[in-house]
Amino acid sequence: MAVGPNTFPVMLPIKGFKLGTTSAEIKYKDRRDLVVMEVAEGATVAGVFTMNRFCAAPVQICQKHLAAMSGQHTGVVSPKRYLVTNTGYANAGTGPDGYKNSIAVCERMATIANVSVEDVFPYSTGVIGERLPIETINGALERCVENLSEQGWEDAANGIMTTDTRPKGSSRKLSIEGESVSITGISKGSGMIMPNMATMLAYVATDVGLSQALAEDLLKEAADQSFNQATVDGDTSTNDSCMLIATHESGVVFQTESDEGYQQFREAFIAVCVELAQAIIRDGEGATKFVTVRVEEANNRDEARAVAYTVAHSPLVKTALFAADPNWGRILAAIGRAPMNDLNVDAVSVYLDDVLLAEKGSVAQSYLEEDGSRIMAQEEFYIIIKLGRGNVAADVWTCDFSYDYVKINADYRS
């Protein structure tokens, strides 16, 4: 179950970036579950990761390998690099053995590709606490390499899924200073979705050139405006990773934010990340509604987000969304317990799209129950909260809680 049409976009190839996928039968038979991505020499790689203190072994290794990469001397052409993703098992909560197992995957990939271990970045997603079947994964890596192709995006989007019901992709082409530039990305995620990041993996590649510092800054900004504005259930995963790969193949190179054409590229890159983040919410476990919680008239963004997340996380609000029940009292209760100071409840007003639900601490005199029910019966709508405190706004994307959310997570390990 998911919200919106199940259409996978046309994915523009990125010169210098290849993807190969296979069925290794890591946990399930007859499904793609192992993906290798090859990054050409000279590319820039950046990443942002989960803030969960029990972060998985592959996250720790990726951060270590990225740090080693960032320490290379300026002017040194980066070698080929490989990103290896397995589904089925998260390799989190597995202690020293889990770390050794992820390193073993890196070592096998390094041997196959004739690169150093530090040039391999591992990613895992699936059940927490269970160890990787190393022989199964390592035995299938060569099949992924044999399948490497710049056209391999859709297979890879399927290969990184866990409880997802559909692959997620986004791709854009733009012209900068007369040169054609492409941005293409895939993501996975369906449950355990919460900012900082979410149980998600995302890989976004572009054929522009970016300095290391600019790539890191751009990815942090893009994640903050996309993946960190999405929440399904308020649980932050142990394995979240989002990667930017800039292959330098288009002839367009950006060193700083002030470079000609950079802002145009930046906006397109963030738009791709937003589309991927929203696709995750549309495919939230058991989701039947895609809801934007917009908080307006706040003093600052942190305050606006705090209110939006409190509403978006509320199980009572989310179950009302599923039932198409415009229970405005639940929304007011969530706003009232949001972590903010000196809220004047008489200044707050709440809307469903353009229908005024509540104002001045009570139901609006103009409100009709049938109007609220009509809006909430839609697959997509806004909850708009005006705080009456300032002029800052923020959005958070969320979904409802259906019966299927409980079923999916109750049966997750079976």
Q: Is 298 exposed, middle or buried (0-12, 13-18, 19+ CB in 10 A)?
A: buried
d(CA 325, CA 102): 47
From the list 22, 87, 163, 199, the catalytic residue is 199
pLDDT tens figures, 37-51: 999 999 999 999 987
pLDDT value for 410? 65
Which distant-in-sequence residues (6+ apart) come within 8 Å of 231 by Cβ? Answer: 193, 194, 195, 198, 281, 309, 312, 313, 396, 397, 398
pLDDT value for 51? 77
Name the pTM for this structure.
0.91
Encoded amino acid at 247, one letter:
T
Q: Provide the token pair at 145.
A: 């390499």
Report DSSP state, residue 215. Answer: H
Range in 93-107, 313-327, 362-376 with the lowest mean pLDDT: 313-327
- DSSP letter string over 124-193? EEEETT----HHHHHHHHHHHHHT-BTTTHHHHHHHT-SS-SS-EEEEEEEEETTEEEEEEEEEE-SSS-
d(CA 309, CA 334): 9
pLDDT value for 191? 46
Q: CA angle, 189 as apex, 186 and 195 as ends, to 5°?
A: 105
pLDDT of 73 over the 70 cut: no
Yes or no: say if 230 and 281 are a contact pair by the CB < 8 Å rule.
yes
pLDDT value for 194? 45
pLDDT value for 53? 78
pLDDT band at 6 (very low <50, low <70, confident <90, very high): confident
More confident residue, 194 or 233: 233
In this prediction, residues 145-173 reach a mean pLDDT of 95
Residue 199 a catalytic site member: yes
pLDDT value for 192? 41
Q: Provide the token pair at 242.
A: 């989002």
Encoded amino acid at 63, one letter:
Q
Domains of the chain with CATH codes: 17-282 (3.60.70.12), 290-410 (3.10.20.340)
Candidates 130, 149, 137; CA nearest to 84 is 137
d(CA 261, CA 107): 40
What SS3 class is residue 352? strand
pLDDT value for 76? 64
pLDDT value for 172? 98
Tallying the residues shown for the chain, one arrives at 414
pLDDT band at 340 (very low <50, low <70, confident <90, very high): confident
pLDDT value for 198? 43
pLDDT value for 325? 86
Yes or no: say if 110 and 71 are a contact pair by the CB < 8 Å rule.
no
pLDDT value for 361? 85
pLDDT tens figures, 259-275: 999 999 999 999 999 99
pLDDT value for 193? 40
Mean residue pLDDT of the chain comes to: 90
Q: Provide the token pair at 249.
A: 């193949």
pLDDT band at 195 (very low <50, low <70, confident <90, very high): very low
pLDDT band at 109 (very low <50, low <70, confident <90, very high): very high
What SS3 class is residue 70? helix
Range in 111-115, 240-244, 391-395 with the lowest mean pLDDT: 240-244
pLDDT tens figures, 381-413: 999 999 999 999 999 999 888 777 667 666 555
pLDDT value for 4? 81
